[in-house]
Amino acid sequence: MLKIGITGNIGSGKTTVSKVFETLGIPVFYADDAAKAVMVNDPILIDGIKKTFGDESYFPDGSLNRKYIAGIVFNNDTELAKLNGLVHPATFRAFDSWVKNVKNAHYVLKEAALLFESDSYKMCDYTIMVQAPLEVRINRVIKRDGLTRAEVESRNAHQFTEEKKTSLADYVIKNDGAELVIPQVLALHQKFLLL
Ligand code: ATP
d(CA 73, CA 99): 31
Please tell me the predicted confidence (pLDDT) of residue 149.
97
Percentage of the residues of the chain whose pLDDT score is greater than 70: 100
Please tell me the predicted confidence (pLDDT) of residue 27.
98
User: Which SS3 state, helix, strand or coil, does residue 135 take?
Assistant: helix
Mean pLDDT of the chain: 96
Considering only CA atoms, which residue is closest to atom 23 of ligand 1? 13
Please tell me the predicted confidence (pLDDT) of residue 33.
96
Please tell me the predicted confidence (pLDDT) of residue 118.
86
Residue 180 lies in a domain: yes
Distance from residue 77's CA to the centre of ligand 1 (Å): 27
Residues forming a β-bridge with 59: none
For residue 179, count other CB atoms closer than 10 A to its CB.
12
Query: Which regions of the chain are under pLDDT 70?
Result: none
Q: Is 35 in the pocket of ligand 1 (CB under 6 A)?
A: no
CATH of the domain at 165: 3.40.50.300
Distance from residue 49's CA to the centre of ligand 1 (Å): 31
Q: Is 184 in the pocket of ligand 1 (CB under 6 A)?
A: no
Ligand 1 atom index nearest CA of 32: 4
pTM of this structure: 0.94
Q: What is the CA radius of gyration of the chain?
A: 18
- Please report how the helices 66-73 and 43-53 are oriented relative to each other, as an axis angle in degrees rounded to 10: 60
Where helices occur in the chain by DSSP H, the ranges are 14-23, 31-41, 43-53, 66-73, 77-100, 134-145, 149-157, 162-168, 181-194
Whether residues 92 and 125 share a domain: the answer is no
Q: Is 5 in the pocket of ligand 1 (CB under 6 A)?
A: no
Residue 77 CA, chain-centre distance (Å), reads: 19
pLDDT in tens, 118-157: 888 999 999 999 999 999 999 999 999 999 999 999 999 9
Distance from residue 16's CA to the centre of ligand 1 (Å): 6
Residue 34 lies in a domain: no
* Domain coverage including residue 53: 39-101
At residue 172, φ and ψ (nearest 5 deg) are -125, 140
Whether residues 92 and 131 share a domain: the answer is no
Distance from residue 140's CA to the centre of ligand 1 (Å): 6
Please tell me the predicted confidence (pLDDT) of residue 119.
85
